[in-house]
């Protein structure tokens, strides 16, 4: 495996990588998205000098979906609002289409931020040690916070499944350049070939 990349195997009982076009009901993509993969890596090891850039996602188990109904609140609590809010006062039942029994390998490298040196071998080594020892800043999640992820080194992972499909547009990440909400979604054309999805350097519409 390319030493420039780090790899980690993540799996869990449930996952939901919500499509942004689904406004009310949660409907998952059939595969881990790059932005969700980045969140998993940042939960394991984050550093202000770089940003994890996802290069490849390997699918180790067949795609299985099912529906469930959950109680969700209809409001957000502002950080500046000291008043308590009670879920029983404003909640609704919503349907979700989620994934069951997922297993992936994520390959990524460290993308240095402007003005920072490009040699991040030290940080890659730290990440690998943290994965091997099971350390994380907070528990990684598979899309939704309640769907916790197990993680481990990818060296002994099985090969990707035999799955090839054009998935169309998929969420690449959110554009945080405005420094404040709203953060606009960015997309790329997703294709899975022999169980592997390659992630492009840039989303659609963004020039080098």
Which tens digit of pLDDT belongs to each residue from 36-89? 999 999 999 998 888 899 999 999 999 999 998 877 776 677 767 777 777 667
**Helices 34-44 & 121-133, crossing angle to 10 degrees?**
80
Six-digit token string for 180: 């404040």
Six-digit token string for 14: 């449930």
pLDDT tens-digit profile, the chain (208 residues): 557 899 999 999 999 999 988 767 889 999 999 999 999 999 999 988 888 999 999 999 999 999 988 777 766 777 677 777 776 677 777 788 999 999 999 999 988 877 766 667 888 899 999 999 999 999 999 998 889 999 999 999 999 999 999 999 999 988 777 667 667 889 999 999 999 999 998 888 765 5
Q: Are 28 and 19 in contact (CB under 8 A)?
A: yes
Q: Which CATH class is domain 6-198?
A: alpha beta
For CA atoms 134, 139, 141, 147, give the dihedral sign: positive
Which pTM does this prediction carry?
0.87
Q: Domain-by-domain residue ranges, the chain?
A: 6-198
The whole-chain average pLDDT of the chain stands at 88
Distances in whole angstroms, Cα of residue 187 to Cα of each of 4, 58, 107, 120, 170: 25, 19, 19, 27, 5
Cβ within 8 Å of residue 57, ≥6 positions away: 31, 32, 34, 37, 104, 105, 106, 107, 196, 197, 199
Closest CA to 154 of 54, 18, 60, 28: 60
């Amino acid at each position: 495996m390319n030493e420039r990349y780090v790899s980690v195997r993540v799996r869990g009982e449930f996952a939901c990588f919500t499509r942004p076009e689904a406004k009310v009901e949660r409907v998952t993509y059939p595969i881990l998205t790059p932005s969700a993969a980045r969140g998993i890596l940042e939960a394991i090891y984050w550093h202000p000098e770089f940003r994890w850039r996802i290069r490849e996602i390997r699918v180790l188990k067949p795609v299985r979906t099912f529906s469930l109904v959950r109680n969700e609140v209809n409001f957000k609590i502002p950080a500046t609002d000291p008043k308590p809010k009670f879920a029983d006062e404003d909640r609704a039942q919503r349907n979700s289409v989620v994934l069951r029994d997922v297993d992936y390998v994520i390959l990524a490298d460290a993308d240095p931020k402007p003005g920072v040196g490009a040699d991040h071998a030290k940080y890659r080594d730290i990440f690998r040690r943290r994965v091997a020892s099971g350390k994380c800043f907070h528990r990684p999640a598979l899309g939704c916070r309640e769907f916790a992820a197990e993680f481990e080194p990818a060296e002994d992972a099985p090969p990707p499944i035999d799955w090839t499909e054009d998935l169309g547009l998929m969420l690449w990440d959110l554009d945080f350049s405005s420094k404040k909400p709203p953060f606009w979604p960015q997309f790329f054309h997703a294709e899975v070939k022999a169980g592997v999805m390659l992630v492009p350097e840039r989303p659609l519409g963004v020039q080098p």
